[in-house]
Structure 1
């Protein structure tokens, strides 16, 4: 058995850090084997995964074929490739963070926002990434996180910090409003409003839980 001095709990298995507070654990006894064997997750035999690979290749090939038959000034087949590349990056993050859905959602918002800005910049800046993608991604993430927590009956502590992070991230469009660099202001106004209301609700109703979680995560 292992013991966490910070959380005052005993843990089975052979862990280096406490899953609750991430502090280092002390060994008690000779229990050095994991309770459950570590089984590597394999995706190569997954039919859906193979279908996604086949679909991605097919779409790329067809986009080049159509672009060759109907040439235009814009090489939109490269946009298709960029979109598929973004999809696979997001999918990779979901797979890697599959054991922590709230954390995966926050990572998705960050990745989608960065990729959108890069894509917008590489295709001749139109501003759609900051006008629409970033504010919409933030609002959708907050909604999805809340719905996921209700459906999966997650405890408040399981998603509270990530909900707080997403709310803070959602205020970024407010900076765009202050800098007056937006062509379409409504998505950013809605995103900022929802984020401020969300943060106010979290701080007012879950202030003690936030403080306790921060103490554990920051090892205070």
Structure 2
């Protein structure tokens, strides 16, 4: 007997291939476009293909412009080295801008994954800028803990909004876990000579742990769903 083969469609929100028989994406929970207005189509719409094609072309264009700008900056810096390797600062800004456009604005990944990439890219950029401007420690003392703290506050607000509107919260928990891991790393560094002012790192680590603990206690069902989907617990 022959085997039934079911076509897959791509979720417009997270970009994953989903069984065409489903009405919602099992990963992000967004309604699938092929089921709009009660109709089910075997093939994805041509309009969706055109949008994805345009995104790919724009990403290639942004990458070409970024690489060209980096080459020009490095060439100028090699010709005129009177002020040292200032091009590293410009390259950091260009690389972060490319990541913002390519992996956040034009990406089909889930929103929380894009924001997580942004947070850690911004952390790395701050460290590089601090290093190139004399390594005064302002990045690890204040800026990185502030970035992580604001990210945790954003995750808390996102959880509250998702509960109010009935949205899926498992991805927000994943974002909160990723930020808390960064906060715990900063907690460890706060006991090293690299960090001169320890209390911001220690405070943001406490906030992250408390947020996850409160989520596990008061939002047990959603938190368990995140552990099953993302960590297979």
TM-score category (smaller protein): 0.5 to 0.7
**1:194 is matched with which residue?**
207
Query: More displaced, 102-111 or 184-193?
Result: 184-193
Corresponding residue number in structure 2 for 1:7: none
Question: 1:143 aligned to 2:150?
Answer: no
1:97 deviation in Å?
4.1
Q: Mark the CA change 1:190 to 1:43 in structure 2 (over 3 Å): closer, same or farther.
A: same
Q: 1:161 to 1:45 in 2, by over 3 A?
A: closer
Pairwise CA distance, 1:93: 1.9
Task: Give the corresponding residue for 2:93.
Answer: 83
Aligned counterpart, 2:13: none
Give the 5 Å matches for 1:89-168: 89-95=99-105, 97-122=107-132, 124-148=134-158, 150=161, 153=165, 154-168=167-181
The corresponding residue for 1:184 is 197
Residues 185, 213 of structure 1: alpha-carbon distance in 2 compared, 3 angstrom cutoff: closer
Specify every segment of 5 or more residues in structure 1 that has no aligned partner in the other structure, as ranges.
4-10, 22-30
Contact 1:12 1:35 in 2 (8 A): no
Moved more, 192-201 or 93-102: 93-102
What's the CA shift string for 1:138-157, capped at 9, x where partnerless? 11222233445528943323
- 1:42 equivalent among 54, 76, 97: 54
Q: Among residues 27, 42, 65, which one is paired with 1:20 in the alignment?
A: 27
Q: 2:219 and 2:21 mapped to 1: Cα distance?
A: 33
Q: Which runs of 5+ in 2 are unaligned?
A: 8-17, 29-39
Residues 53-68 of structure 1 mapped to structure 2, 5 A cutoff: none
Give the match's secondary structure for 1:126. coil
Distance apart, 1:33 and its partner CA = 2.9
Distance 2:207 2:173 in 1: 16
Deviations 1:23-69 (A, max 9, x none): xxxxxxxx9933544322525999xx99xx7xxx7xx99xx8xxx8x
State the 1:94 CA deviation: 0.6
- Count residues with an aligned counterpart: 189
